[in-house]
Structure 1
Amino acid sequence: MSVFIDITGLPQERIAFGISPLAELAAALHALSEPAHHPRLHGWTTSISATFKAELAERLHEADFLWRAARADFLLPAVPRGTLAEELDDLDQMDDERYVAAALEISCASRYCEGVPSPLVDAAARGRALDLAAARGPRQAAFVQRMLDDPPAVRAWIRRLLEECDEVFFSDTWRRARVQLAADARHKTELLRHKGLAEALQAASPALTVEEDGLRTRIVVDKLGAGRTTAAGSSLTLLPTAFGWPHLMALYTPGWQPVVQYPVAAGEPAGAASVDTVRLRLEAVAHPMRMRLCRHLARGTYTTGELADANGITAPEVSRHLAVLRKAGLLTTRRRGRYVLHQLDVSVVARLGSDFLEGMLR
């Protein structure tokens, strides 16, 4: 299972490595909302979170579905700018239907690669967005309802939130990170010019390869998920991130210019377990369907119904697979009202091996 980006006939000059403050802010916000995904950033996430006033922390929690389990597409600019303000200005030019559709993908359980219509114009998409939001709790359900009722007001609210994050912590963070990111983008650009796309992509991430099939050429993004898009007739943008590991983000929504965000550094989760425990856990995750479920559960909390819908199986089948994962000690479960939410225990999974964890979170 991979994401395929068709680049047949795409001139090399339409493939660009660049840096984006908005994309990096989104990566930083994800790390703050899911610190277990980013053990190497523990000191940074702890110190930054401690500086947040209660009101800012509450608003970040309210909007974190934009960057927590999945990344809203508009947070990965296809045309990077020099400043966050410029990228936010570009974002303001997007029409409401496109913006809201991207914002309300909610989670990896959405039908991302199908290019579903905007909830502003399609009743079924609206109902699905509200159902998914309800499973996240009353706060998010209310937020999504406001976005559907008054998109301009909520868009302005999100922009103010991102601007406040810039004032509180990100401007200083970006001043330091942009030096490393700019150097990485320059290096990959030089590799692209002098040694070709395949070598530049491999230098960016071993999960990026070029595949030629007869008359067609495509980039293969090795992720535990399936998707297809094309850069033919448009462009391809690759963005390094200092906060992203182990995630490799790929924007492949139909109708959007493809964007790939790759981490500039890697790390090794540490830990150990008994042989019997390792055996039990490896057997639990070896099943193909349970591996697919783990990919969702590694990124956030999901109900049984959401997992069934996303994977095309019945709720009882999901329950049986979850029972195996739970017996192996790989799941955490909590109740929120009438919903039971399941999530992969990333700290436990990390002890199975960094390759497996990175594959789940890529």
Structure 2
Amino acid sequence: MSVTIHIAGLPQERIVFAPSPLAELGTALHALSEPGHHPGVHGWATATEASLKQDLADRLCEADFLWRTTFSDILLGFAGLRDASVRPGETLAQDLDTLDRLDDEEYVSAALEFTCSTRYGTASPHSPLTDPALHERAVELASARGPQQRKFTEWLLADPPAVRAWVRRLFEDCDQAFFADTWNRVRFQLAADAREKSELLRRRGLAATMEAVSPALSVDEACTRIDADKLASARTTAVDPEVGAGITFVPSVYQWPHLVVLHRHGWRPVVHYPVAGRELPGPLSVEQFELRMEALAHPMRMRLCRNIARAPYTTGELADHYGISAPEVSRHLAVLKRAGLIVARRRGRYVQYQLDLKIVARLGSDFLETVLR
């Protein structure tokens, strides 16, 4: 499974690396809402949450579904303008001004992403603002998500300008309360990462650059597509002439373990990626993670793991212990080995197998990172 971005014929100058204050604010708000996703910034999240005035904290709760369960595309609104020269702003005010340029239909569609994920990547000639059936469906789906979502959806569909003004004021108040200081601390790091990736693209090409952005990103040999290894299947294009050719890579300090790929139909794609840090492990491929989970799901292999977790064993020893044939043990060990869960060491004419405890210990965090990516 992967999210595929078609880039055939895309000029290199249309591949842009740029930080976005609004996107970083959205990621920071997500970290505040879901601190369990972001253990690396737990101290910042705790201190920031404690400093919020009650009025602002209450308003953030009213809208947290925009960045909590889904990362609303309004936080990357520059990609929805049909002008490929538009890039993220240098300040939050500039990003908010860009967001204001979206028409009401685009804004409402992006804000209601949490109610229409099944139609996210497809074209639709209709809008919930004008189509009664889509209007009713949006309210119905929002109701299933909770009373806050229903209230917000009904208000947005009834009066888009008022909601847009309310959301902008909310972000401006966040800037005054805590984000201005946060942005001043991280913006130089993000700008440096963007410059580094741009230079790497110029010197070594796209494949090396994608590997540096994230091991979860890859480019095919013909350089016609970028694949993001995620537990999702979707396609988009960076060469749609109607919206302007281009793809933007937005670095983030608060993003790990998420790798967000905006693939909304009619918008230019955006890859919102975490800036690498020494404390962050490289992401495991979805395929390799599935191999590990499947390998451990078999009851006999679980029993074998009980032995080889404690000490190295030969195939013969394990066969004798469990009363099964050596070839059957070998087949089970081969599955564990393909999954990267065991190591083999030769001792004279014997080969001993032992569970790699460090790898197995990571499975919990690997699971979370894979499903959150």
* TM-score > 0.5 by shorter chain: yes
Over 3 Å counting, the alpha-carbon distance change for 1:66 and 1:284 in structure 2 is: farther
Q: Find the counterpart in structure 2 of residue 245 from structure 1.
A: 256
Q: Summarize deviations over 1:240-296 as a string: whole Å, max 9, x none.
A: 000000000011111001110000135569xxxxxxxxxxx957997xxxxxxxxxx
1:82 to 85, 90, 93: 90
Percent identity between the aligned chains? 60
Determine whether 1:96 maps to 2:104.
Answer: yes
Code of the residue aligned with 2:234 in structure 1: it is G
Q: Whole-Å Cα distance in 1 between the matches of residues 162 and 116 of structure 2?
A: 26
Aligned length in residues: 287
Q: Whole-Å Cα distance in 2 between the matches of residues 223 and 159 of structure 1?
A: 31
1:137 to 146, 154, 161: 146
The DSSP-based 3-state class of the residue aligned with 1:170 is helix
Q: Find the counterpart in structure 2 of residue 24 from structure 1.
A: 24
Determine whether 1:235 maps to 2:246.
Answer: yes
The DSSP-based 3-state class of the residue aligned with 1:353 is helix
After TM superposition, the structure 1 = structure 2 runs for residues 201-280 of structure 1, keeping only pairs within 5 Å, are: 201-212=210-221, 217-232=224-239, 233=241, 234-265=245-276, 267=279
Q: Find the counterpart in structure 2 of residue 2 from structure 1.
A: 2
Q: Find the counterpart in structure 2 of residue 274 from structure 1.
A: none
Q: Find the counterpart in structure 1 of residue 314 from structure 2.
A: none
Tell me by how many angstroms 1:137 deviates: 2.1
Over 3 Å counting, the alpha-carbon distance change for 1:209 and 1:257 in structure 2 is: same
5+ residue gaps, structure 2? 80-86, 282-291, 298-360
The DSSP-based 3-state class of the residue aligned with 1:131 is helix
After TM superposition, the structure 1 = structure 2 runs for residues 38-57 of structure 1, keeping only pairs within 5 Å, are: 38-57=38-57
Aligned 8 A contact 2:5 2:235 in 1: yes
Tell me by how many angstroms 1:106 deviates: 1.3
After TM superposition, the structure 1 = structure 2 runs for residues 158-237 of structure 1, keeping only pairs within 5 Å, are: 158-212=167-221, 217-232=224-239, 233=241, 234-237=245-248
Determine whether 1:66 maps to 2:70.
Answer: no
Aligned 8 A contact 1:70 1:107 in 2: no
Aligned 8 A contact 2:115 2:138 in 1: no
Q: Whole-Å Cα distance in 2 between the matches of residues 256 and 2 of structure 1?
A: 19
Code of the residue aligned with 1:176 in structure 2: it is R
Q: Summarize deviations over 1:217-247 as a string: whole Å, max 9, x none.
A: 0000111101111111410100100000000
Aligned 8 A contact 2:116 2:138 in 1: no
Q: Whole-Å Cα distance in 2 between the matches of residues 182 and 151 of structure 1?
A: 34
Q: Find the counterpart in structure 1 of residue 309 from structure 2.
A: none
2:136 to 110, 127, 148: 127
Q: Whole-Å Cα distance in 1 between the matches of residues 270 and 117 of structure 2?
A: 20
Q: Whole-Å Cα distance in 2 between the matches of residues 88 and 250 of structure 1?
A: 21
Code of the residue aligned with 1:106 in structure 2: it is F
Aligned 8 A contact 2:230 2:370 in 1: yes
Determine whether 1:113 maps to 2:121.
Answer: yes
After TM superposition, the structure 1 = structure 2 runs for residues 212-361 of structure 1, keeping only pairs within 5 Å, are: 212=221, 217-232=224-239, 233=241, 234-265=245-276, 267=279, 282=293, 352-361=363-372
Tell me by how many angstroms 1:108 deviates: 8.0
Over 3 Å counting, the alpha-carbon distance change for 1:361 and 1:282 in structure 2 is: same
Aligned 8 A contact 2:128 2:138 in 1: yes
1:154 to 157, 160, 163: 163
TM score, norm. by length of structure 2: 0.72
TM score, norm. by length of structure 1: 0.75
